[in-house]
Amino acid sequence: MKIYIDGRYYSKEDAKISVYDHGLLYGDGVFEGIRIYHGTVFRLREHCERLYRSANAILIRIPITIEEMERAVIDTVALNNKKNAYIRLIVTRGVGNLGVNPLTCEKPSIIIIVDDIQLYPEEYYAKGINIITASTRRIASDSLDPRIKSLNYLNNVLAKIEAIQSGCLEAVMLNQNGYISECTGDNISIVTDGTIMTPASHYGALNGITKGAVIALAEKLGIPCRETALTQYDLYTADECFLTGTGAEIMPVVSIDGRLIGNGMPGEITKRLIASFSEEIAAQSG
Ligand code: PMP
């Protein structure tokens, strides 16, 4: 395994960053999770654009161009010789002193890890999963814009613990005003009366790349789709529910807080989207 750090490659054992890196000290940094399908990096440009926008929003100036970043990712993938895998791309504020002040940090660090992906069992896609509503709220979007994919995941971590303690894989989080935002590592969508609905980002949701792909697919398939405000009522009374994320792809949800969604089986529109998404992956990776 070869891990890229600031233009050089290291083995897993030797890939280390300073304990003075503000990414470690303060969660001061941004990241992306990206898939490789059949040797092709999926939607690399979109991920890099989101990374640079996240960095820009927190005043990190990534020291290489977006084209150089894409090249670094592709080179690291090639060096690791993996056909179906996961890429973790991280940019930290870099090494500074122990104070919060980011201006003490000389230069952001870039890390690229290519590793095997832990896929969910097929059964989950066929039967759907159960989720809960977490009591941990999403960080208010006027405190930390949810479009910034930052290294601050503590509230997601707490919500994930709630999910696990309830025997679930995922938990949906509400925002400060009680609207549905997203899950700990996935966006959430519902289908009601044939329309797909998903929380708009200002309700506390990351602008998910998989969600974007689903919205585009829905348009192609002629399924109405809206980014809107959703409450727990909307979730509980939905005909279908599904999660989207780089790791999960499109995952049907069949119960929330012990309440069955629709008939408790993955919905027809969800299944159509899953099939179309697989076709898109096959087409993109040639
Ligand atoms: N929300 C959160 C909090 C996430 O961490 C992720 C995964 N990156 C997503 C949503 C899904 O986004 P994407 O489809 O871009 O992976």
- pLDDT tens per residue across span 125-160: 999 999 999 999 999 999 999 999 999 999 999 999
Residue 94 has phi, psi (to 5 degrees) of 105, -170
Tell me the one-letter amino acid at 129: I
The residue from 82, 115, 148 where one domain ends is 115
Q: 135 and 254 in one domain?
A: yes
CA atoms within 13 A on the CB side of 142: 2
Q: 89 and 223 in one domain?
A: no
The residue from 96, 115, 134 where one domain ends is 115
Q: 255 and 132 in one domain?
A: yes
Our mutation pick for probing the ligand 1 site, out of 187, 214, 227, 280, counting the most ligand atoms within 8 A of Cβ, is 187
Q: 102 and 68 in one domain?
A: yes
Query: CA 39: distance to chain centroid?
Result: 20
CA-184 nearest atom, ligand 1: 3
Q: For the chain, what is the domain count?
A: 2
User: What Å distances lie between residue 276 and 32, 85, 215, CA to CA?
Assistant: 24, 21, 12
Residue 286: per-residue pLDDT: 61
Residue 128: per-residue pLDDT: 98
CA-213 nearest atom, ligand 1: 14
In 58-141, which residue ranges form alpha helices assigned H by DSSP? Answer: 66-80, 122-127
pTM of the model as a whole:
0.97
Residue 182: per-residue pLDDT: 98
| Distance (Å, whole) CA 285 – CA 71 | 17
Residue 284: per-residue pLDDT: 82
Give the tokens for residue 113. 């890890």
Q: 34 and 106 in one domain?
A: yes
Q: 108 and 192 in one domain?
A: no
pLDDT tens-digit map of 231-281: 999 999 999 999 999 999 999 999 999 999 999 999 999 999 999 999 999
Question: Which active-site residues does the annotation give?
Answer: 149
The residue from 115, 149, 167 where one domain ends is 115
Q: Whose CA is nearest to atom 10 of ligand 1?
A: 186
Residue 162 pLDDT > 70, yes or no?
yes
Give the tokens for residue 196. 């797909």
Our mutation pick for probing the ligand 1 site, out of 87, 186, 203, counting the most ligand atoms within 8 A of Cβ, is 186
Enter the DSSP assignment of 50.
H
Rg over CA atoms, the chain:
19
Q: 166 and 81 in one domain?
A: no
pLDDT tens-digit map of 97-133: 999 999 999 999 999 999 999 889 999 999 999 999 9
Q: 19 and 150 in one domain?
A: no
Range of the domain at 60: 2-115
